[in-house]
Amino acid sequence: MITERPLHLKKKYDVVVAGGGPAGMAAALGARDAGAESILMVDREPMAGGILWQCIHNGFGLHHFKEELTGPEYAQRYLEQVIEHDIDILTDTYIYDIDRDRNVQLMSGERGIHVLESRSVVLAMGARERTRGAIRIAGSRPAGVLTAGLAQKFVNMAGVLPGRRVVILGSGDIGLIMARRLVLEGVEVLGVFEIMPHVNGLGRNVVQCLHDFDIPLHLSTTVTEIHGRDRVEKVTVAPVDENLVPDLSKSWDIPCDTLMLSIGLIPENELSRRINLRLDPVTTGPVVDSTMETSVDGVFACGNVVHIHDLVDFVSQESELAGRGAGAYLTGHRPPADNIRLVPGDNVAYCVPHTISSDREHTVYLRVRRTEGKCTIKFGDAYAKKLLYVFPAEMVTVTLRPKFLQEFHGDSLRVDVVAR
Amino acid sequence: MTAPVYDVAILGGGIVGCAIARELTRYRLRLVLLEKECEVGFGTSKSNSGIIHAGHHSGPDTLKGPLEWAGNRKWDVLHEELDFGFERIGELMVAWDAEQVEILEKYKKRGEDRGVPGLEIWDRDRVRREEPSLSRDIIAALHAPTAGVVNPYEVCFSLIDSARHNGLEIRVETTVTGVAAVEGGLRVDTDRGAVAARYVVNAAGLFADRIAAAAGAGDFRIRPRKGEEYLLDKRLRGLVRRIIFPCPTATSKGVLVIPTFDGTIMVGPTANPIDDKGDLSTSSEGSDEVFDQVRRTVPGISPRDCIAEFAGLRAVADGEDFIIGPSAVKGFINVAGIQSPGLTAAPAIADMVRDILADEGLALSANDDFVPEVPKRVIVSHLDTAAQVALAARDSRYGHICCRCELVTEGEVVDAIHAGAGTLDGIKFRTRAGMGRCQGGFCTWRCMELLSREMGIPIEQVTKRGGGSWLVCRREDLEEGSAA
Ligand SMILES: Cc1cc2nc3c(=O)[nH]c(=O)nc-3n(C[C@H](O)[C@H](O)[C@H](O)COP(=O)(O)OP(=O)(O)OC[C@H]3O[C@@H](n4cnc5c(N)ncnc54)[C@H](O)[C@@H]3O)c2cc1C
């Protein structure tokens, strides 16, 4: 398995891609295809591929490669292309600063600290997991409280187990996948507790990871307290009312040694803040136009940095676009600038990209705020599409064709999801 | 039994024990410090607000009052000699009505009587200009420029490093179980054998009452009073520039807004009496109380910005004051009931204890080899780019990132391990690795690997903070009942 090729680090690059996960790899390839000559992809882990290496389950690539792959297989396919396309890869290296003139500061154990110039930058740093502090679970602070992603790293990358008797809080996809993974390792998984009345991960994961392994799922229930001095000894759980307030009179204790959290991801935007990009308060990622360019010239962003995706296939798609944008920025063959702003309306939390152009086709990603049965998604009066159901955990993807926008002469389009 | 090996045994390595130990290394003495946790400072001293109080908070008829101000004045020299962050950022005590303004006047007068400089009452306009995030309902504030902030755990580590360099012997994970008079001194029993010393200083924080009682050296009681604190995301850095105190009521100092030395905003603490001295849990009531109250002072603060929380226990003696002095048992000195402002006062308490020991007959002759300074730690994130480049070129470990949120390198983690950090929390409080936004999601495994490598232990023996705080196990261990 090749994961890298020898590298003579240049002082100046056409494109530096920050992050070598699925987003970074697709962006690097997109930039190459659009004419960028020297491209450097940087990742802080010892190997490019990002979180995919620890996702040893299948379910990747159905949309993109039209076949079902495991995470590492998906990573490997991309990485081979990246290497074939002569893209420089620098791993175990951390980008800790980028300024508005796109000077990139790198830290690496092997090569020390470097400052490079880059004509354009693609931000593809991914996301981090929400932790205990973000939801302020009461109780003590023992060892044995960890995020699902860290547990996944322990089990799949390091070959050690996070504990013996595990309670899972939150029904995000990584948590569901890890529930099954831990059972397969012989760990007792005592249940998945979700404060919302619905699961936060994909439906197929509920079936394949919980039902098939008899792992109890408790909806509208949350962990209210952690007990134990040195190591977790038990957790208290309680059902919640419609305002998500726990009813402690109905609480019960579960003896366990581990509490695993799968309570969501947050875009990783340390670098975006350093460059002073304009951020969307809902996604917490950068505001982007239809080429995935941010508010700063020549700086592009894609993948979980921009908004949290459920499927890697869409990350690849969006990121290739960002890479192409960076390439076009260099060659000057840029498409016409955007002329329409998308404004989230009824039951729409956000739309990405934030602006589009009436002359070409766009894929618009959005999330709703509430679950809804049969409904219609409307882009002003320009376009409407019927949906069978929507719910916050599943991203909605809509393709907007130029023919719908030709009749539209305003400068902003309100996007609503309304019941039928 | 032969003559005691040590001149002084210090029981407890909190800020008070550490400050006393370091002060005593200025003299030619054989010293030992015994601490039950895996690191010094891991009692109350790492879990507090980190404020060096301005000097006007504690009442005049207490021991606390003069010690607060005497302590405050010693921090600049300590900061120069040792290696911890300290800045006199000043504090504002704010008032919402005329009655409270009178209270501010009282505090001002109290401070001035004591000699605290720079106290000034600011009107509404001045408050708004200096701290625009404060509530519009605030009508006046008492400014005290002498208040400062420190990272309290860093102070403990640094004091103990200094003391160790100057000859202190330290034993961690050693719990004192009793003290008895023996020929020529006192015998201190621990779960790891006995230690004999001519003098014993009881600085065991919450447990000082038990040790005193076991020695027959006091019948005071120490009751824990819990304080919960909440740390906010770095996004809010700069929201306030000074420590903000609400005007105190008869029962409470209130909930403060503290720009910690690292720039993270912290809100708290609560103050609730509890029974269990091991109960460091936080509660939803505590969090509601903190965020409800703090919104009166700084309306822009929301629980949504919380990234971490913790609780600390104040060691409260019956009369609410410090108990410092010799006891009925010859050679046994109590330093107990050191609640707030114990951190502030610690350097002055150390001087006081030194004088008490001298009065009790301990001969103090200067240690000519005493070096007040400690070698400064390397902190990569504090260097400019050129210095970072040069350092990483010299030793590549300082270019290898370990904690990305706080920008901590492998080199710094290895330094911490060699300075005595043997656990994940030890590394965290020495280097900040794991304190940032992702709360260890990225660096936990890296730090575990470094602990395993540097200490030559298998990964499953790495702990969060010693004892039974194991982090991972192996498949083979699943059958067994207990942890690795
Ligand atoms: C929430 C909170 C906020 C505070 N804020 C401030 C502030 O802003 N400014 C300020 O000046 N003060 C503050 N304080 C007070 C300050 O933290 C304390 O006064 C100070 O830490 C006390 O130090 P200590 O060394 O006496 O106690 P500790 O730090 O508790 O040290 C006692 C040590 O003795 C050890 N020990 C106990 N029993 C044994 C035994 N049997 N054998 C061996 N070792 C033993 C313990 O493990 C511990 O390490 C605050 C306190 C709290 C709780």
The single residue of B53, B56, B57, B143 carrying the catalytic annotation is B53
B9 and B37 co-located in one domain: yes
Best B305, B388, B400 member to test A by mutation, with max A CBs in 10 Å, is B400
pLDDT digits (tens, 9 = 90+) for B238-260: 999 999 999 998 767 899 999 99
**Nearest atom (ligand 1) to Cα of B313:** 53
Between the CA of residue A16 and those of A22, A83, A99, A261, B62, what are the distances in Å?
Answer: 15, 15, 13, 33, 63
Q: Which residues contact A105 (CB under 8 A, 6 or more apart)?
A: A95, A96, A97, A98, A113, A114, A115, B385
Mean pLDDT along residues B196-223: 97
Please tell me if the CB atom of residue B338 comes closer than 6 angstroms to any atom of ligand 1. yes
Does some domain include residue A281?
yes
How many other β-carbons are positioned within 10 Å of the β-carbon of residue B74? 18
Which residue, of B372, B397, B415, is where some domain finishes? B372
Residues B464-479 pLDDT 10s: 999 999 999 999 888 7
What per-residue confidence (pLDDT) applies to B307?
Answer: 87
User: CA-CA distance, A160 to B452, in Å (whole number)?
Assistant: 14
Closest C-alpha to ligand 1, atom 13: B340
Q: Is residue A390 a part of any domain in this protein?
A: yes
A235–chain B nearest CA distance, Å: 13
Asked, for residue A302, whether it belongs to a domain, the answer is yes
| Size of the A and B interface in Cβ pairs below 8 Å | 148
pLDDT at B379 over 80: yes
pLDDT of the residue at A38: 97
Residue A6 is assigned to a structural domain of this protein: no
Indicate whether B271 belongs to any domain: yes
Residues paired with residue B226 on neighbouring β-strands, in sequence order: B272, B313
Q: Assess whether pLDDT exceeds 80 at residue B321.
A: yes
Identify whether residues B157 and B194 lie together within a single domain: yes
Mean predicted lDDT score pLDDT of chain B: 95
**Same domain assignment for residues A49 and A155:** no
pLDDT exceeds cutoff 60 at A2: no
Based on the fold, state whether residues A241 and A278 are members of the same structural domain: no
Say whether both B290 and B418 belong to one domain: no
Regarding whether B199 and B144 lie in a shared domain, the answer is: no
Kindly state whether residues B286 and B414 are assigned to the same domain: no
Distance in Å, CA B15 to ligand 1 centroid: 7
Pick the residue whose CA is nearest to atom 39 on ligand 1. Answer: B204
- Yes or no, beta carbons of B397 and A160 under 8 Å apart: no
pLDDT value at B288 more than 60 = yes
The reply to whether B153 and B214 lie within a common domain is: yes
- Considering the domain architecture, whether residues A322 and A360 belong to the same structural domain is answered as no
Closest CA to B28 of B6, B50, B54: B6
Grouping H, G, I as helix, E, B as strand and the rest as coil, residue B73 is helix
Do A161 and B388 lie within an 8 Å CB cutoff? Answer: no
A404 and A311 belong to one structural domain: no
Task: Report the half-sphere exposure of B171 (CA within 13 A, side-chain side).
Answer: 16
Q: For residue B44, what pLDDT is reported?
A: 97
CB B281 within 8 Å of CB A225: yes
In the listed set B311, B336, B355, which residue is the last one of a domain according to the structure?
B311
Taking a C-beta distance cutoff of 8 angstroms, is the pair B202, B255 a contact?
Answer: no
Q: Over the stretch B102-121, which tens digit does the pLDDT of each residue have?
A: 999 999 999 999 999 999 99
Q: Which residues pair with B140 in a beta bridge?
A: B95, B123
**Do A140 and B281 make contact, defined as CB atoms within 8 angstroms?**
yes
Q: Is B176 a pocket residue for ligand 1 (Cβ < 6 Å)?
A: yes
Judge if pTM exceeds 0.80: yes
Strands ordered across the beta sheet of A252-255: A138-139, A221-227, A234-239, A252-255
Q: Are residues A141 and A183 in the same domain?
A: yes
- Which of B280, B392, B477 faces A113 most closely, judged by CB atoms? B392
Comparing C-alpha atoms, which of A18, A56, A60, A53 is closest to residue A39? A18
- Shared-domain flag, residues A232 and A170: yes
Give A147's strand partners: A261
Confidence of residue A3 (pLDDT cuts 50, 70, 90): low
| Domain CATH for A209 | 3.50.50.60
Mutate to test the pocket of ligand 1, among B343, B353, B425 (most ligand atoms within 8 A of CB): B343
Residue B185 DSSP SS3: strand
Q: How far is the CA of A306 from the centre of ligand 1 (A)?
A: 44
Closest by CA to B380, choosing from B366, B353, B365, B401, is: B401
CB contact under 8 A, B467 and A230: yes
Residue of B284, B450, B452 to mutate, testing the A interface (most A Cβ within 10 Å of its Cβ): B284
| Pair (A62, A115) in one structural domain | yes
A184 CB neighbours in chain B (<8 A) are none
Cβ–Cβ < 8 Å for A193, A168 = yes
Find the mean pLDDT for residues A241-260. 97
Boundary of a domain, candidates A206, A234, A263: A263
What is the pLDDT averaged over residues B177-194?
95
Q: State in Å: Cα B115 to ligand 1 middle.
A: 27
Q: Which of B35, B39, B48, B151 to mutate to test the pocket of ligand 1 (most atoms within 8 A of CB)?
A: B48
Q: What is the pLDDT of residue A109?
A: 83
Instruction: With beta carbons less than 8 A apart as the criterion, state whether A264 and A196 touch.
Output: no
List the alpha helices (DSSP H) in B82-183.
98-114, 124-130, 152-165
Give the number of residues written for chain B. 484
Quick one: three-class SS letters along chain A? CCCCCCCCCCCEEEEEEECCCHHHHHHHHHHHHCCCCCEEEECCCCCCCHHHHHCCCEEECCCCCCCCEEHHHHHHHHHHHHHHCCCEEECCEEEEEECCCCEEEEEECCCEEEEEEEEEEEECCCEEECCHHHHCCEECCCECEEEHHHHHHHHHHHCCECCCEEEEECCCHHHHHHHHHHHHCCCEEEEEECCCCCCCCCHHHHHHHHHHHCCCEECCEEEEEEECCCECCEEEEEEECCCCCECHHHCEEEECCEEEECCCEEECCHHHHHHCCCECCCCCCECCCCCCECCCCCEEECHHHCCCCCCHHHHHHHHHHHHHHHHHHHHCCCCCCCCEEEEECCCCCEEECCEECCCCCEEEEEECCCCECCEEEEECCCEEEEECCECCCCCEEEEECHHHHCCCCCCEEEEEEEEC
In sign, the C-alpha dihedral spanning B416, B85, B110, B267 is: negative
pLDDT band at B276 (very low <50, low <70, confident <90, very high): very high
Q: What is the DSSP letter of B205?
A: G
B18 domain residue, yes or no: yes
pLDDT for the residue A133: 82
Tell me whether residue B252 is in a domain: yes
Q: What is the mean pLDDT of residues B183-201?
A: 96
Instruction: Determine how many CB atoms are found less than 10 A away from the CB of residue A399.
Output: 11
**Distance from C-alpha of B152 to C-alpha of B146, rounded to nearest angstrom:** 17
Average per-residue pLDDT for chain A: 94
Q: Say whether pLDDT at B480 is over 90.
A: no
Contacts of A243 (CB under 8 A, 6+ apart): none
Question: Chain A: nearest CA to B236, how far in angstroms?
Answer: 13
Q: Which one of A279, A301, A331 terminates a domain? A: A331
Whether the pLDDT of residue A209 is over 70: the answer is yes
Q: How far apart are CA B420 and CA B368, in angstroms?
A: 26
Instruction: Summarize the confidence of residues A191-205 as an average pLDDT.
Output: 92
Q: Could you tell me if the CB of B44 is within 6 A of ligand 1?
A: yes
Cα–Cα distance for residue pair A258/A146, rounded to 1 Å: 8
Give the Cα separation of B389 and A351 in Å (integer): 41
Report the 10 Å Cβ neighbour count for B244. Answer: 27
* Whether B301 contacts B240, CB under 8 Å: no
Q: Is B143 a catalytic residue?
A: no
Instruction: Mark whether B187 and B199 lie in a shared domain.
Output: yes
Determine the atom of ligand 1 nearest the C-alpha atom of B225. Answer: 53
**Quick check: B484 pLDDT over 50?**
no
| Total structural domains within chain B | 3
- Asked if B201 and B213 sit in the same domain, the reply is yes
Which of A170 and A63 is assigned the larger pLDDT?
A170
- In tens, the pLDDT along B323-367 reads 999 999 999 999 999 999 999 999 999 999 999 999 999 999 999
Pair A172, A262: CB distance under 8 Å: yes
Q: In sequence order, which residues have a C-beta less than 8 Å from that of residue B153 and are 6 or more positions away?
A: B41, B45, B46, B429, B430
Domain holding A321, by residue range, is: 12-128+266-331
Q: Are residues B262 and B404 in the same domain?
A: no
Tell me, yes or no, whether A7 lies in a domain: no
First to last CA, chain A: 52
CB atoms within 10 A of CB A373: 11
User: B63: closest CA among B359, B337, B356, B343?
Assistant: B337
Is the pLDDT at B89 greater than 60? The verdict is: yes
CATH number at residue A360: 2.60.40
Min Cα separation A388/chain B (Å): 33
Q: Does residue A2 sit within a domain?
A: no
Q: Which of A110-124, A245-259, B137-151 has the lowest mean pLDDT?
A: A110-124
For residue B76, give the CATH number of its domain.
Answer: 3.50.50.60
Looking at the structure, tell me whether residues A314 and A395 fall in a common domain. no
Q: What is the pLDDT of residue A406?
A: 82
- What pLDDT is stored for residue B482 in this prediction? 46
Shared domain for A45 and A167, answered yes or no, is no
**What pLDDT is stored for residue B40 in this prediction?**
96
Same domain? For A324 and A366 the reply is no
**A156 shares a domain with A114:** no
Number of domains in chain A: 3
pLDDT at B73: 98
Residue B54: pLDDT above 50? yes
Structure tokens at A413: 């389009």
Q: Which residue of A has its CA nearest to B443?
A: A150
pLDDT at A4: 58
pLDDT one-digit tens code per residue, A118-158: 999 999 999 999 998 888 899 999 999 999 999 999 999 99
Show the tokens assigned to A92: 């175990």
Whether residue A44 and residue B401 make contact (CB cut-off 8 A), yes or no, is yes
Q: Which domain holds residue B432?
A: 380-479
> At B180, which helix (H) or strand (E)?
strand B176-182
Angle (CA) A132-A136-A138 rounded to 5° is: 100
What letter represents residue B348's amino acid? A
Where is the domain boundary, B311, B326, B359? B311
Is A5 part of a structural domain of the chain?
Answer: no
Which residues in chain B have their CB less than 8 angstroms from residue A128's CB? 437-438, 441-442
CA angle A40-A46-A306, nearest 5°? Answer: 60
Q: Do B444 and A150 touch (CB under 8 A)?
A: yes
Q: Which residue of chain A is at minimal alpha-carbon distance from B285? A: A138
Question: Are A147 and A256 contained in the same domain?
Answer: yes
The CATH number for B255's domain is 3.30.9.10
Residues B403 and B269 in one domain: no
CATH number of B389's domain:
1.10.10.1100
How far B86 CA sits from the closest chain A CA (Å)? 26
Q: How far is the CA of B206 from the centre of ligand 1 (A)?
A: 7
B251 and B386 in a single domain? The answer is: no
- Residues B293, B328, single domain; the answer is no
Quote the strand ranges of B301-369, DSSP E: 306-317, 323-326, 332-336
- Each residue's pLDDT tens digit, B410-446: 999 999 999 999 999 999 999 999 988 888 888 999 9
Is A63 part of a structural domain of the chain? yes
Range B85-93 average pLDDT: 97
DSSP letter string over B422-467? -SHHHHHHHH-TT-STTTTTTHHHHHHHHHHHHHT--GGG-BSSST
Residue written as tokens 């891991």? B42
CA-to-CA distance for B203 and B292, rounded, in angstroms? 36
Boundary-marking domain end, from A263, A291, A308: A263
